[in-house]
Structure 1
Amino acid sequence: MGKKILVITGSPRKKGNSFAMTDAFVNAAEAKGHTVTRFDAAFMNVGGCRACDTCFQTGRACSFDDDFNTIAPEIEAADAIVFTSPVYWYTFSAQIKAVMDKLYAFMTVEKDIANKKHGFARKGIGGKKYGLISCYEENDMSVMDGVRFSYERTVTMLKGTSVGEVLIPNVWDVNDIQKTEGIEQAKALAEKF
């Protein structure tokens, strides 16, 4: 049975290498019978999280009305979420990071009465599958440490399961991805859903 897969991209380069891998993933996932919804965060209006702790109190995921409120219902409806982004300054691009920061709205925070901490219930989205597709210019795998740590902690905090990561070095110019196994690895990631 096909899954509902949400893809969130972070690249501002429509003809870039991470977009090429994203397209390969989407095509392979759809060929397997999955339904894919895609949001290209770089072309949307998503502001950073303001830590106001008013998530869902206005009936929307974020009290500040931006495009995250368009993405949020798709996050809830998805069986799986795939993040795709080039590495910018040793982590995710700012465009996708704004979306990821607002995933805070979906964390389940429980009251700790014994310690008198303030907590409140949010809409949890546990049980989803996650994937990561990323590429970077350098040939040093440690360049991916920031992206991998953020991704792994995001999956853990949202009580999900990672099914795989596609991490491709040595790409910068348009079509550099064609000189790597990035496209094939992105297609193979679709098989894991």
Structure 2
Amino acid sequence: MSKKVLVLSASPRKGGNSDLLCDKFIEGATAAGNEAEKIFLRDKRINYCVACDSCQKNTGKCALKDDMEGILEKMITADVIVMATPVYFYTMDAQMKTLIDRTVARYTEIKNKEFYFIATAADSSNQAMERTIEGFRGFTDCLGGAKEKGIIYGTGVWTKGEVKRSPAMKKAYEMGEKV
């Protein structure tokens, strides 16, 4: 059965290492007959949550008017969500964290999803990425029926495009293919 895959790329640069892994994951997922869409967060206007509590009083309707409403709807309707970030100071970047915080309006509707995480960093140790992965897990632990299906570590990459020489590219394709 074909699945609807939503890839959230938090790379601040198109063609950056985490973004390239997103593309490779999508390539594998579509080759296996799935429908896939990538949202490049840098191109979206997502404001910070201001804790106004409006969403809790208005059945999930956020008071902020930006691109998050459409992204959140796609997260709710997806079968699979891929969350990709470069690692800055051993945690996810601000674009991804802002998106996660803004799901508060309707996070209870993001349920029964399969999740894949992609993290890229100059550090060459997968273990050093665990704070980032734990940040993703903190989010998915709040979602009903969330299932972590895989992690792609693009470690030891600093300059744009360097991940192309990494075994992570093959792993991203293969994970996408097995969605």
TM-score (norm 2): 0.91
Can you give the 5+ residue segments of structure 2 that lack an aligned partner in the other structure?
none
* Equivalent residue for 1:135, pick from 94, 117, 120: 120
Q: Which structure has the greater CA radius of gyration?
A: 1
1:39 equivalent to 2:25? Answer no
* Equivalent residue for 1:168, pick from 142, 145, 154: 154
CA contact (8 A) 1:164 1:192 kept: no
Q: Which has the higher helix share?
A: 2
Can you give the 5+ residue segments of structure 1 that lack an aligned partner in the other structure?
109-123
One-letter amino acid of the structure 2 residue matched with residue 62 of structure 1: C
Tell me the residue number matched to 2:64: 64
After TM superposition, the structure 1 = structure 2 runs for residues 144-183 of structure 1, keeping only pairs within 5 Å, are 144-159=129-144, 160-183=146-169
CA change 1:37–1:56 in 2 (3 A) is farther
Measure how far apart 1:62 and its partner are. Answer: 2.2
Tell me the residue number matched to 2:85: 85
- In 2: Cα distance, 1:107 partner to 1:174 partner: 33
Question: Aligned with 1:87: secondary structure?
Answer: strand
Q: What do residues 57-114 of structure 1 show as CA deviations (whole Å, max 9, x unaligned)? A: 5576422011101201111111111101110222111112111111222334xxxxxx
Tell me the residue number matched to 2:18: 18
CA contact (8 A) 1:42 1:96 kept: no
Q: Which has the higher strand share?
A: 2
CA contact (8 A) 2:84 2:119 kept: yes
- In 2: Cα distance, 1:68 partner to 1:47 partner: 8
* Equivalent residue for 2:110, pick from 112, 125, 135: 125
